[in-house]
Amino acid sequence: FQQVCTLVTGMLESLRFNLDLVSFIPVSGFTGDNVSTTLLPEKLTSWYAGPSLLDALDALRVPHRPINASLRVVVTSVLLGADGVNYSGSQGGSGSRFDVAIKVLQGRIRTGRGVGIAPTLGIADVCKLTTSDGTPVQLLRAGDAGVATLADRGGRSAAEVSPWDGMILYKGQPSVRSSQRFKATILTMENLNPPMLPGSTFDIYLHGESLQCRLRKIYHTTVTKATGESRQVRRPKCVGKNRSAYVQIQTERPVCVEPFSECKALGRFAMRHRGMTSA
């Protein structure tokens, strides 16, 4: 248990987590030990005095939800009909309706309103909203998940729209920007091997979307000395493990990204290589 705590703490610290808000709770999935206060065996209480899993969940602070920000909704999955076609079975004047599972990142999505579909230039009407358990609703807010029935305003069918996981529904300014090249600050992991070189390819994961990317440029890295002082190394040849670097990334097709200060969910991503997280 202590070994796991040490390893995970080091990783979270490198990712700038606030360790004061992190708890480590030993739980046995096999016997149910420490899931609740009624399942506390003596062999556990002899060395652990923290909360049970359920107590810790009950004590979590409800996070602030950016309900009043510009609408950003991520498509988490495309729902298919029995014949493998993405549709909800009804026809309307604005084209075939189709269903997508969604997660509201910020803002509010309402039935009867229009939303942009990025990274395409399409616009769709929200015909119906349901919660994850199938309850019809008129509104979903930041933090909510559910299913949206959409109808393309251009009259395109679901096959023509061809939605995919990771698409963004949006409304309000600024509009969602799509790009194949962007600059970002990355934090490399302890298991990075070999070092990152310009031209290296990775799998990049952005808000549910997975595709290939290439590290095009390394502008600078940040090296921390044993004394705790940090210095920048400009135009390095590579990025080693446990380093912060400012780089340019190119993806195989346009993706929706925004500055972290504007939308946290669209400013985060992970880079993986051979099944291991690299940065």
User: What pLDDT digit, counting tens, does each position of 226-260 carry?
Assistant: 666 778 889 999 999 888 999 999 999 999 999 98
User: What pLDDT digit, counting tens, does each position of 205-217 carry?
Assistant: 998 889 999 999 9
**Tally of residues, the chain:** 279
Average pLDDT of the chain, as a whole number = 87
Q: Which amino acid is at 106?
A: Q
User: What pairs with residue 117 in β-bridges?
Assistant: 122, 169
Indicate the pTM of the whole model.
0.77
Q: Which amino acid is at 30?
A: F
| Residues 6+ away with beta carbon under 8 Å from 275 | none
Q: Is residue 181 a contact partner of residue 247, using CB atoms and an 8 Å limit? A: no
- Single out the residue of 128, 260, 243 nearest to residue 186, CA to CA: 243
Q: Are strands 270-273 and 201-206 parallel, antiparallel or unpaired?
A: antiparallel
Q: Which amino acid is at 81?
A: G
